[in-house]
Amino acid sequence: MGQEPEQIERHIHRTRARLEQNVAELRTRVRSNLDWRVQYRRYPAAFAAAAFGGGLLLSIMIGRALGAARLRRRAFRGTLLQEVATGRKSLRTAGPRASWDEILDTLIAMGPTQVRALFGELLPALRHYLARR
């Protein structure tokens, strides 16, 4: 090993200084790569495309939700189920045949997916109601 202790110490200090410089440079690079403002300045077209895609996706999701709500309202409009739901009529006073016809008409108008969702909500409640009796 023929090196003097002072030489070894100087070598250690130079190596430590280079390491500190490399770590500082790496820290600066990581910060700039993670900063959205820097990325926006570098890639404005990508940000515009992402904003457009996000807006399109959001409008599709909202449009579908509003469309489904409109279909449900349209399916119930003017039916006995709507009047029962709003409290204007009772199934007991409507008579058995009229009630059944109205229910069938409403279920047909709703479509299979909405009927499946409706019964998915009603059946557990019905089981709970019958278990209490």
Tens of pLDDT, residue by residue over 59-116, are 888 877 777 777 666 666 666 566 666 666 665 665 555 666 667 777 676 677 776 7
Q: Are 108 and 74 in contact (CB under 8 A)?
A: no
Q: What is the pLDDT of residues 17-61, one digit of tens each?
A: 999 999 999 999 998 888 888 888 888 998 899 999 988 888 888
Number of H helices and number of E strands within the chain?
Answer: 7, 0
Per-residue confidence (pLDDT) for residue 18, from 0 to 100: 94
User: What pLDDT was estimated at residue 23?
Assistant: 94
Other Cβ atoms closer than 10 A to 28: 10
- Structure-block tokens of residue 39: 């990325």
Q: Which residue has the tokens 């089981």?
A: 127
